[in-house]
Amino acid sequence: MTNTENTRTLHRRAPRWLRLGWWFLKRSWQRFETAIFTRARYSEPKMRWMGALGVFGFPAYWFIWAKLLPQPYESLGLRLFGSALFLPLFLVRRWPNKLRAWLPLYWYLAMTFALPFFFSYMLLQNGANVAWLLSHLCSVFLMVMLFDMWSFLVTNIVGTLLALTLYLLSPATPFATDPLLFYSPVWGFAILSGSIFSLSHSMSNQARIDAIIAASNNIAHELRTPLASVRIATQAVHRFLPLLAESHRQASEAGLPVPELRDSQLGRLSKAMDTIGGEVEHANTVIDMLLVAARPIGEVQFEKVSARECVNEAFERYPFGSQHERSRVAVDTAADFEFVGSRLLVVHVLFNLIKNALFHTGRAGKGTITLSVHADALGRRITCYDSGPGIPPDVLPHIFERFYSSAADYSTGLGVGLAFTRSALERMGASVYCQSTFGEFTEFTLTFPHVLENNT
């Protein structure tokens, strides 16, 4: 057994309270890690400039505060350390792929040193004079722009405590209580307003979700009527095309002056009607996907469902762009199992996985896709495996995050497809995880509990 399988076995044997505690700690850490990764990813375009500011700003301001406008305390060594710390950020575009997974953590360590730690330490060492009180306040508001609420609070607390510890351990000027006492309410207001500002960012994300749902519903319903009209018209042409051909043949035999109509032309006309019908079905499937993704998952009714039927239906209904595209997807449903859930949700989860796999294998110009059903000692699973380009290691832990989408990584579109996948499966008591080796393969595994477990 692999290490992952051994871990799962031990997890199943652990007491329920221990599993719940582990789950809570894991989810808390994942949320914090997600916050770090998300903010670092959005900050990445500016990292080079922040790196340049750190590399050149630390020594430049040493010259200002030590020579031009002398302060009670300055430290060239501390500033040179900060300058060296920001050099990798200045060279962020040259980071190798193997190290990029550590970029978010390095970004936060560098910013924790540069903002809460450095400014707090210099404020204390300089006796809380006006220049450093204003500088420290500027650092707080800069952190508001860079961090989410939890990261903002954690980095502030960690950086400030480290600065206070170093101040108490080093030869220092007497502690300036009066300026800090008057500054404390201002600093507290900055912390509070920064937290509220970060909460407004979460609210804006929810507004984006509501807007996507509303737009999806409106677009879907507006397209239903014209597509239904096209379908009816296509069916009418199909129905009357043989009659038209027979009428033309009889007119030609009777010597009437009718234009020539070849069998090949009739064949092309019939094929065109089939193409139109196929495109209508394609569009209806896309609309179904929009409506399912927009519909509150809690409203979906559950029943006993066959995994094999879900996989077969997803393969048959998926709107492949061509026969060649369809031929790149294989199905293995030799095994089967039942679960309590929603056939509609699982089919559309598989639609999302097929769509992503087709996109990335197509863009890479290599790779096949296999949908499989498994029911063995390792559990009841549906897998979607592709031998395509794989997922970069720094992206892999975050692909299920809502709105995670970048042209440079594995996610595409609005960044809601895989987030919907996880939410839908968790609603059914199932789970999804992904294994991938960059440049080799990607495998999504949907794991379902036993029917009896799901009914309890």
Helices (H) and strands (E) in the chain, counts: 14, 7
pLDDT for 381 equals 94
Q: Which two tokens stand for residue 404?
A: 């995670």
Q: Which two tokens stand for residue 187?
A: 């600093």
Considering only CA atoms, which of 393, 397, 371 is closest in space to residue 382?
Answer: 371
pLDDT for 127 equals 83
SS3 305: strand
Query: Who's near 328: CB < 8 A, 6+ residues apart?
Result: 358, 361, 367, 368, 369
Edge-to-edge strand list for the sheet holding 369-376: 329-332, 369-376, 379-386, 441-448, 431-437
pLDDT for 235 equals 79
300, 423 contact by CB (below 8 A): no
Considering only CA atoms, which of 394, 411, 399 is closest in space to residue 356?
Answer: 411
371, 331 contact by CB (below 8 A): yes
Q: Which two tokens stand for residue 6?
A: 């051994």
Q: What is the mean pLDDT of the chain?
A: 79
What residue type is 248 in one-letter code? H
Query: Who's near 275: CB < 8 A, 6+ residues apart?
Result: none
294, 258 contact by CB (below 8 A): no
pLDDT for 395 equals 78
Quick check: 292 pLDDT over 70?
Answer: no
Q: For the stretch 133-147, what's the b/e string if a residue is b when 16 or more beta carbons lie within 10 angstroms of its beta carbon?
A: bebbbebbeebbebb
How long, in residues, is the chain?
456
Phi-psi region of 61 (alpha: psi -120 to 50; beta: other; left: phi over 0): alpha
Residue range 23-73, pLDDT digits in tens: 667 666 666 666 666 666 666 677 888 899 999 999 999 999 999 999 989
Alpha carbons 126 and 133: distance in angstroms, whole number: 10
Alpha carbons 244 and 266: distance in angstroms, whole number: 10
SS3 445: strand
Domain 300-455, CATH number (from 3.90.1660.10, 1.20.1050.90, 3.40.50.720, 3.30.565.10): 3.30.565.10
Greater confidence, 15 or 416? Answer: 15
Within 13 A of 260's CA, how many CA atoms are on the CB side?
3
Q: Name which of 124-138, 234-248, 277-291 the model is least confident about.
A: 277-291
Q: What are phi and psi of 303, to 5 degrees?
A: -160, 175
Quick check: 343 pLDDT over 50?
Answer: yes
Q: Which two tokens stand for residue 199?
A: 């909460």
383, 443 contact by CB (below 8 A): yes
Question: Could you tell me whether strands 379-386 and 338-341 are parallel, antiparallel, or unpaired per DSSP bridges?
Answer: unpaired
In percent, the amount of the chain with pLDDT more than 90 equals 25
Domains of the chain, by residue range, sit at: 29-175, 213-294, 300-455
Quick check: 279 pLDDT over 90?
Answer: no
What is the pTM (predicted TM-score) of this model?
Answer: 0.52
Alpha carbons 272 and 286: distance in angstroms, whole number: 21
Q: Tell me which H or E stretch contains 371.
A: strand 369-376
pLDDT for 293 equals 56
Identify the top-confidence range among 142-146, 271-275, 344-348, 371-375.
Answer: 371-375
Q: How far is CA 134 from CA 40, 120, 128, 139, 175, in A?
A: 26, 11, 10, 9, 18
Phi-psi region of 386 (alpha: psi -120 to 50; beta: other; left: phi over 0): beta
pLDDT for 406 equals 47
Q: Which two tokens stand for residue 285?
A: 């499937």
Quick check: 193 pLDDT over 80?
Answer: no
Considering only CA atoms, which of 122, 293, 280 is closest in space to residue 216?
Answer: 293
Q: Tell me which H or E stretch contains 422.
A: helix 417-427
